Amino acid sequence: MPECLLTDTVHVAVHAVDEITRAGLVSYLGLDHSVHEILPAKIQDADVIVVAVDAVDASTLQLLRGLSNAPGARFAIVSAKNWRVDVSAAIDCGVRAVLWRDAFTPVIFIRTLLTIAGGGGSLPPDLQGSLMSQVQWFNREVLAPRDLTASGVSPREVDVLRLVAEGKEIAEIAAKLSYSERTVKSTLYGLMKRLRLRNRAHAVSYAIRAGVI
């Protein structure tokens, strides 16, 4: 499923624990002519899948995996403030937005669907804070001890890539950084293998997109 919506129509599938809730959510889709319901049988073709539950726990994540195994499936969760899973685990399952029922309005609902279809996301402030704490912990406890950053590129690799981007040859990079040529080659090879990059140009392109050079 593409990151950005390429058509004017947003196809939305709605799953709820009861038919009354589902019918209510479906009725709101009519507030915007560009949003259309897609039948459960075609859920794999949905741009956004709305899931309404009483609480978000491990069983909810299993439900998401069962509803759609399409690559890039994107979910909007409508729930009471009863969150019992890691935010990062929910995001891994495709959750792109969460709407608390006590703050739910039809206008916010439609706006959220359009945001997700356009490649964005929306989390309540409390969940954003939880996610930031998880990211900080991961950076500190997992990446830092391995000399990696959130981009997946180590400081040494950044130094090498910056010089590659300037058009320097291996010998020039080695002299500039006081490394052996073997170390420079090993650094580049390790990076390309780890991130599945095809060549030096691809590695430089990745580093630029990641904002590390």
Encode pLDDT of 71-85 as tens digits: 789 999 999 998 999
Q: Residue 1's pLDDT is what?
A: 43
Q: What is the DSSP string of 158-196?
A: HHHHHHHHTT--HHHHHHHHT--HHHHHHHHHHHHHHHT
Contacts of 120 (CB under 8 A, 6+ apart): 96
Model confidence pLDDT, tens digit, residues 156-168: 899 999 999 999 9
Strand locations in the chain (E): 10-16, 35-37, 48-53, 75-79, 95-100
The answer to whether the beta carbons of residues 159 and 188 sit under 8 Å apart is: no
Q: In what order do the strands lie in the sheet with 48-53?
A: 35-37, 10-16, 48-53, 75-79, 95-100
pTM, two decimals, is 0.69
Q: Facing residues of 51 across strands?
A: 15, 77
* Among candidate residues 202, 213, 73, the one with its CA nearest the CA of residue 149: 213
Numbered ranges of CATH 3.40.50.2300 in the chain = 10-124
Ranges 67-71, 81-85, 93-97, 110-114: which has the least confidence:
67-71
**C-alpha of 198 from chain center:** 23
Looking at residue 122, its pLDDT comes to 93
In the chain, where does the domain assigned CATH 1.10.10.10 lie? 145-210
Q: In the CATH scheme, what architecture does the domain 145-210 have?
A: Orthogonal Bundle (1.10)
Mean residue pLDDT of the chain comes to 88
Residues of the chain above pLDDT 90, percent: 67
The answer to whether 96 touches 117, Cβ cutoff 8 Å, is no
In DSSP terms, 103 is beta-bridged to: none
DSSP, collapsed to helix, strand or coil, labels residue 16 as strand
Please say whether the structural domain 10-124 has been given the CATH code 3.40.50.2300: yes
Alpha-carbon gap, residue 157 to 175, rounded angstroms: 15
